[in-house]
Amino acid sequence: MYASFYGLQREPFSIAPDPRFLYMSEAHREALAHLLYGLSGGGGFVLLTGEIGAGKTTVCRCFLEQVPAHCDVAYVFNPKLDALELLQTVCDEFRLEVPAGAATVKAYVDALNRFLLAAHAAGRHAVLVIDEAQALAPEVLEQLRLLTNLETDERKLLQIVLIGQPELRTMLARPDLEQLAQRVIARYHLPALDAAETAAYVRHRLAVAGLSGEPPFDDEALAALHRLCGGVPRRINLLADRALLGGYAQGQRRVGRAVVERAAHEVFGTVPPSPTPSRAPAVAAVLGFAALAVGALAWQAGRGGVAAAPVAPAVHAAPAPAAASANASVPVAAASAAPAPVADELDAEALLARAAAREADGVRSLAKRWKAEPGAGEPCSALAASGLACWRTKTGLAQVRDLGRPGLLTLHGSDGRSGVVLLTGLSAEHATLAFAEGGEASVELATLATLWRGEFATLWRPPPGWGAPGGAATLAAWLDERLPGRGALAPRIVAFQVAHGLQPDGRAGPLTLMQILRPDGDTAPRLALTR
């Protein structure tokens, strides 16, 4: 109804799962990486949980599309079945025939066992995916555990992926399901979108819908959408759709906060319009778990010199279930003190006005924190002489906090302006920013979220052999000294990545190397952190 009014070719916020509108946040990509990593785990359970509408089905569909060709998949989406019915459904999905007169638990398990042994002999891998798994009865979960007993001397023959709401985790914590819980080799809880991701999600759907002009939602409306929906995509779709309809009814081509709040009252019923909404939910969302650096890009010398981290996980890397940590060999650098008091607190407009227009100016400011002087010319190229490299990624404040080093944030205004600021400190509700022109200021995280889309850049000191011609052997030796265990590096890297919450791709990219360096001290300037 409102599509043409806003310059759209179709309505952008239908709750129908149209693949054209697929949006994968960093958290969704990390969840997908965990599922794909689970395929290399040699059997057992992989667990994905998330709130209603958080995007679990989206991740599941992407997972099913990317399952390797050597895998046979059975997908169960109606798990309100007893043990016998579930076994029958699994056999049906694997196209196994059981005589009608022999429909017993033993008959179905025997058929599955024959199938799994034949698949293993043919070099194939069987995967059972159960959606809405929180609906499974405890006795059915126990039957699933028994299915994972089907094994050879080398590996278990069936991989089971359970996807469900948070109560699934509660169920698996029950004492009578402890044996099943011990067989979970990978688990991930899908968080809601943070404020920056909510804005990106809305813009993405508008773009796919054919937006040809100015976005209909202003920054305050986007912040209200996030606050009122808690970053849950399905709720965002419902509210954004109703808000556009309300704006259309009032002839407003720009939808503001008031329209969104009225729409929320109509859609959700319990959210009355608020003239001065609390920023606390937005702050909490910004500080919620952010995706890891999936698809992280490296600046090279003059934007060259450091290879990009891969997007797709290396699902064939051998798993390492034990948690790992790097060995320390250099004294640990002292942590920074709490953020120093700053003179002023900026709103979004003032913050954008003080941001450096040129990225190079921001890099030079950051280099001073490393006691390095890039001189004239392109700073990343010049800093290579000091053993430093530039690195950038798209991430959230949670990962920036975990990384613990200052870095550049790229800000974007609704009018097309952009600039960079240097993040030097974080607290529960504020960020401390330094400017290339000099001086520091504090900004509320909720305000920062209206301008920052997750673009982060920092400096790091690569280890020996990194990025150098013929340096692979040197880097491998360096890794071998610092990673626990012995043998091939790939599974040891995966173990380290899993233990530290990184994308388990088995590759020593910049983020993984920075985390390996961290207990060694790394001599890097530290981000000032307070709670």
User: 185 to each of 79, 86, 180, 199, 503, how far by Cα in Å?
Assistant: 22, 22, 11, 34, 15
Q: Does 334 reside within a domain?
A: yes
Q: Which of 141, 163, 190 is the last residue of a domain?
A: 190
What's residue 221's pLDDT? 95
Q: Does 283 reside within a domain?
A: no
SS (H, E, C) 93-118: HCCCCCCHHHCCHHHHHHHHHHHHHH
What's residue 524's pLDDT? 79
Helix (H) or strand (E) holding 158: strand 158-164
Q: What is the largest CA-CA distance in the chain?
A: 83
Q: Does 459 reside within a domain?
A: yes
Helix (H) or strand (E) holding 160: strand 158-164
CA-CA distance, 307 to 469, in Å (whole number)? Answer: 12
What's residue 531's pLDDT? 58
CA-CA distance, 277 to 514, in Å (whole number)? Answer: 39
State whether 240 and 353 are in the same domain: no
Q: Does 409 reside within a domain?
A: yes
462 sits in the region (left: phi over 0; alpha: psi -120 to 50; else beta) called beta
Helix extents (H) in 250-358: 257-268, 280-287, 348-354
Contact assessment for residue 186 and residue 30, using Cβ atoms and an 8 Å cutoff: no
CA-CA distance, 147 to 159, in Å (whole number)? Answer: 9
110-114-119 Cα angle (round to 5): 145
State whether 178 and 326 are in the same domain: no
Q: What is the CATH number of the domain that holds 356?
A: 3.90.70.10
State whether 32 and 98 are in the same domain: yes
State whether 371 and 412 are in the same domain: yes
Q: Does 121 reside within a domain?
A: yes
State whether 16 and 33 are in the same domain: no
Q: Which of 190, 218, 240 is the last residue of a domain?
A: 190
Contact assessment for residue 127 and residue 75, using Cβ atoms and an 8 Å cutoff: no
pLDDT, block means (10 residues), the chain with 531 residues:
86 81 84 80 83 87 84 87 92 88 87 91 91 92 90 84 91 87 87 92 91 87 94 93 92 93 84 39 33 34 32 32 32 37 69 88 90 82 88 81 88 86 88 89 84 89 87 91 85 78 79 79 75 58
Q: Does 441 reside within a domain?
A: yes
CA-CA distance, 356 to 374, in Å (whole number)? Answer: 17
State whether 109 and 42 are in the same domain: yes
CA-CA distance, 349 to 357, in Å (whole number)? Answer: 14
Residue 531, both tokens: 């709670």
What's residue 272's pLDDT? 42
State whether 184 and 210 are in the same domain: no
Strand partners, 459: 390
Q: What is the CATH number of the domain that holds 242?
A: 1.10.8
Residue-wise DSSP of 423-481? EEEE-SSEEEEE-TTS-EEEEEHHHHHTTEEEEEEEEE-PPTTTTSTT-HHHHHHHHHH
State whether 525 and 421 are in the same domain: yes
| Residues 6 or more apart in contact with residue 498 via CB below 8 angstroms | 37, 186, 320, 323, 504
Q: What is the CATH number of the domain that holds 34?
A: 3.40.50.300
Q: Other C-beta atoms within 10 Å of 82: how many?
A: 12
132-138-139 Cα angle (round to 5): 115
Give me the residue label for tokens 């001290």: 521
What's residue 523's pLDDT? 67
Q: Does 285 reside within a domain?
A: no
Total structural domains within the chain:
3
Structural domain of residue 203, as residue ranges? 4-20+194-277
Closest CA to 8 of 193, 211, 182, 167: 211
Give me the residue label for tokens 């991430």: 395
State whether 389 and 461 are in the same domain: yes
What's residue 519's pLDDT? 57
Strands 71-76 and 125-130: parallel
CA-CA distance, 48 to 190, in Å (whole number)? Answer: 7
Q: Does 341 reside within a domain?
A: yes
State whether 201 and 52 are in the same domain: no
State whether 178 and 204 are in the same domain: no
Q: Which of 138, 172, 190 is the last residue of a domain?
A: 190
CA-CA distance, 476 to 479, in Å (whole number)? Answer: 5
Contact assessment for residue 266 and residue 259, using Cβ atoms and an 8 Å cutoff: no
| Residues 6 or more apart in contact with residue 295 via CB below 8 angstroms | 29, 308, 309, 310, 311, 394
State whether 176 and 209 are in the same domain: no
